[in-house]
Structure 1
Amino acid sequence: MPGAAGARGALRRAVPALLVFAGVRALGLVVLAVWAWAADRDAHQLLSARWDSLWYSRIAERGYGYTLELPGGKVHSDLAFFPLLPWLERGLSAVLPLSAADAGLLVSAVASLAAAWAIFLTGDRLHGRRAGVALVALWAALPVGVVQSMAYSESLFTALAAWSVYCVLTGRWVWAGSLAALAGLTRPVGAAVVAAVWITAAVVWWRGGGRSAGRMLLGVALAPLGWLAYFAWVGARTGSVTGYLDVQGGWGNGFDGGVAFASFIGERLAGPAWPAGLGLLIGVGLVVWLYATGVRRGEPLPLLVYGGVVLLLALTAKGYFGSKPRLMMPAFPLLLPLATAVARLRTVRAVLTVSLLALASAVYGAFWLHGSGPP
């Protein structure tokens, strides 16, 4: 992480990107509030007290130990949810006049800004300030961007992951490992951050860049501790080495190499819902093309490893397929080719492009949260 003076300078340079991010997310919240008012719904409840948000706040208030048995034999256990977000919710609600759910909203608001800062610094370092601002704007305006304003763990995870990857880029190995450990306490995809630290460190060492070998090894050792600690704790609690995988299996989740997802798309292509299947196929093709473009352009290794593992885990997981866009949201490096393209546009065209995307994201987010299924 930069020192105090460097941090202040980096923050000043990032101000335009942070303002753009705040503007895009504010538009999303306004559209959601208007839609909720028209539908006689509570926008606050949609953001803080539905689906995963309820599980996180329950853990914050009562600790782990809740299970829900469903028809068909599925058993939903709260052990599926990693602990850092509920820990923060519990801590904030203890010192502030906030419920656990509202504390989750506060964590997401602060973390999303922290994520935007790290994302800007990454884009700025690689392609200049305009590309950094564009990268933040595109991340804010993702179709699933409304999750950044919910009491979910995506914003917190993305902040920790983006800062860890940025620290790898700048050779701050101990910070990179420490942040990777915290990311590993936030979501199972923390494994992607560990992979970015480990593989980049291995390549740096192989190429003889071990002038800070001690700090690099410490960062490598720290990186997996959060992820491993939670897996070990769940294993001890359930009495099984594969305890966490068993818990995920109870939710119908797991990894099958993408077989279930491919079958899901194929069923829609072969039936009356073929437009949805075609849309899914195009979406998968787009994200794979974006990743391949990053590889072809020679993006730095930690970005390729991190973005690639996030994408791989999202596409090869079985379970509730409606959540796949949300699972890919932390993979901000995939947006770099689009950000450089936007940065090359004239300012008026760039602003118009981002504005249209932000409006589409706001409308889609409001529509999504008013649906029956979780994001």
Structure 2
Amino acid sequence: MTDLDTRVAPPHAPLPRRAVPALLGYAAVRALGLAVLGVWSAARGKSAYTLLTARWDSLWYTRVAELGYGYEVRLPNGDVHSNLAFFPLLPWLERLLHAVTPLSYAGAGLVVSLLASLAAAAGIFAVAERVYGTRTGICAVLLWAVLPVGIVQSMAYSESLFTALAAWSLYAVLTGRWVSAGVLAALAGLTRPVGAAVVAAVWTAGVISFVRERGAKHTPGALPLLYAPVWRRALGMLLAPLGAAAYVLWVGHRTGKGPLGYLDVQAGWRNGFDGGYAFGRFVADKFTSFPAALAGLGLIIGVALLIWLYVTGVRDRQPVELLVYTGVVLALALCASSYFGSKPRLLMPAFPVLLPLARALARLRPPRSALVTAGAAAAAAVYGAFWLNGSGPP
């Protein structure tokens, strides 16, 4: 589609076979994280299973799966936390799996997340391999696995499910499968509000394809561009926003507040988009005392690293659909006005930002690359166990 000169021709072996090393590595990292969590939790007299399935957002998803929508909590300050804030695809899958297996709703959520995390790893490999080659694809998966908050990938949360749908939708666009891209984007839009990032990527790629095709037709001597038929591209673009639009409109109808009803629901959680003002104040407040100032400095360095990696992706001429997707995910995560402790996990679906690091890791000799990955995996496992037994992801 876009930036065709940066695409790496896929090897002859089928994609599932090429993805096996990446998936084995991913499974090993996640198994290490769960093992360390189990030992750490047992030492503290806690249940690792409960930490993974029955705290924070996972409880809200389970209630939706079991009881449907309509549950809310009214706080003393007047805020209303409604479960309408949680998009329906994960609880639908929890309900389906509960209906056909002996699993509880919580257990079904955990199984869905574990399977979705493998699908996400495969999708990340497919995208990275398509753009930069097999070794970079493997390294991208391993880097996603060893993120400090990677334990969320194994929780009954929606991050893994969303990342899987987003990655495969992006891969479908990269390979010209427009209808599949639209369907997957619609499902991503039923999973999290950030599904807008996938829709933006599909629409941007589609518009560029039409513009380039039209330009080629009016350029004497230009070679014809190999795009899917117009109707397939148009259908994919039409399908992409339907999931998010359907849920947002349904919430508006249910609340009686019209198309903006979902924004009122989010306001009850003190969630909104303020361009990063609240997050900036949160970081600035860290510098009122010395110990907190170190955390503030760490946050500044982390945001600067994300921006640098994104700019590096632009300079490396990543396909425009990846840049649009990543840019929207970063903007929505960093510029949300509340729940600052959630930002690390909200950034997790922005996997293309890892591609410059994956390319660098792929250039190392295999022993050194393996050593770096093993060290990062061990650190992530320890941090994940510490974090989940402490404040954890709100």
Q: TM-score, normalised by structure 2?
A: 0.92
Query: Residue 176 of structure 2 contacts residue 228 of structure 2 at CA under 8 Å; is this kept in 1?
Result: no
Q: Which moved more, 1:262-271 or 1:38-47?
A: 262-271
Task: Calculate the aligned-residue CA RMSD, in Å.
Answer: 1.3
Shift of 1:270: 3.2
Give yes or no for the alignment of 1:216 onto 2:233.
yes
State how far apart, in whole Å, the 1-side matches of 2:41 and 2:228 are: 57
Query: Residue 110 of structure 2 contacts residue 155 of structure 2 at CA under 8 Å; is this kept in 1?
Result: yes
State how far apart, in whole Å, the 1-side matches of 2:13 and 2:129 are: 16
State how far apart, in whole Å, the 1-side matches of 2:150 and 2:371 are: 18
State how far apart, in whole Å, the 1-side matches of 2:101 and 2:47 are: 23
Equivalent in the alignment of 1:199: 204
Equivalent in the alignment of 1:253: 271
Q: 1:47 to 1:7 in 2, by over 3 A?
A: farther
Give yes or no for the alignment of 1:263 onto 2:281.
yes
Equivalent in the alignment of 1:143: 148
Shift of 1:118: 1.0
What whole-Å deviation, never above 9, does each CA across 1:298-318 have from its counterpart, x for those lacking one?
000111011110001001101
What whole-Å deviation, never above 9, does each CA across 1:294-352 have from its counterpart, x for those lacking one?
00110001110111100010011011100001000000000000000000000000000
Give yes or no for the alignment of 1:275 onto 2:275.
no
Which of the numbers 48, 51, 54 marks the counterpart of 1:46? 51
- Aligned residue type for 2:247: Y
Which of the numbers 225, 242, 248 marks the counterpart of 2:242? 225
Q: Which moved more, 1:206-215 or 1:298-307?
A: 206-215
Structure 2, unmatched stretches of 5+, are 1-10, 214-224
- Aligned residue type for 1:261: F
Any idea what SS the aligned residue of 1:318 has?
Answer: coil
Shift of 1:65: 0.5
State how far apart, in whole Å, the 1-side matches of 2:335 and 2:170 are: 23
Shift of 1:122: 1.2
- Aligned residue type for 2:142: A
State how far apart, in whole Å, the 1-side matches of 2:211 and 2:107 are: 47
Q: 1:211 to 1:118 in 2, by over 3 A?
A: closer
Equivalent in the alignment of 1:358: 377
Query: Residue 25 of structure 2 contacts residue 142 of structure 2 at CA under 8 Å; is this kept in 1?
Result: yes
Q: Among the aligned pairs, what percent are the same residue?
A: 65
What whole-Å deviation, never above 9, does each CA across 1:29-63 have from its counterpart, x for those lacking one?
01100100111100000000000000000110010
Which of the numbers 326, 344, 351 marks the counterpart of 1:332? 351
Query: Residue 37 of structure 2 contacts residue 48 of structure 2 at CA under 8 Å; is this kept in 1?
Result: yes
What whole-Å deviation, never above 9, does each CA across 1:70-102 have from its counterpart, x for those lacking one?
121111000000000000000100110000110
Any idea what SS the aligned residue of 1:71 has?
Answer: coil
- Aligned residue type for 1:60: A
Q: Which moved more, 1:365-374 or 1:173-182?
A: 365-374
State how far apart, in whole Å, the 2-side matches of 1:270 and 1:174 are: 52
Q: 1:243 to 1:8 in 2, by over 3 A?
A: farther
Equivalent in the alignment of 2:38: 33
State how far apart, in whole Å, the 2-side matches of 1:355 and 1:194 are: 35
Shift of 1:8: 8.3
- Aligned residue type for 1:306: Y
Alignment of 1:100-249 (within 5 A): 100-208=105-213, 209=225, 211-241=228-258, 242-249=260-267
Q: 1:50 to 1:114 in 2, by over 3 A?
A: same
Equivalent in the alignment of 2:64: 59
Shift of 1:269: 2.0
Shift of 1:374: 3.0
- Aligned residue type for 2:310: Y
What whole-Å deviation, never above 9, does each CA across 1:237-280 have from its counterpart, x for those lacking one?
00112110000000010000000000000010233310010000
Structure 1, unmatched stretches of 5+, are 1-5
State how far apart, in whole Å, the 1-side matches of 2:12 and 2:230 are: 25
State how far apart, in whole Å, the 2-side matches of 1:341 and 1:187 are: 31
- Aligned residue type for 2:278: A
Shift of 1:124: 1.2
State how far apart, in whole Å, the 2-side matches of 1:360 and 1:372 are: 18
State how far apart, in whole Å, the 2-side matches of 1:328 and 1:211 are: 32
What whole-Å deviation, never above 9, does each CA across 1:147-186 have from its counterpart, x for those lacking one?
0000000000000000000001111000000000000000
What whole-Å deviation, never above 9, does each CA across 1:177-234 have from its counterpart, x for those lacking one?
0000000000000000000000111011100155511100000000000000000000
Equivalent in the alignment of 1:298: 317
State how far apart, in whole Å, the 1-side matches of 2:370 and 2:13 are: 27
Shift of 1:373: 4.8
- Aligned residue type for 1:219: G
Give yes or no for the alignment of 1:313 onto 2:332.
yes
Equivalent in the alignment of 1:3: none
- Aligned residue type for 2:274: D
State how far apart, in whole Å, the 1-side matches of 2:68 and 2:13 are: 38
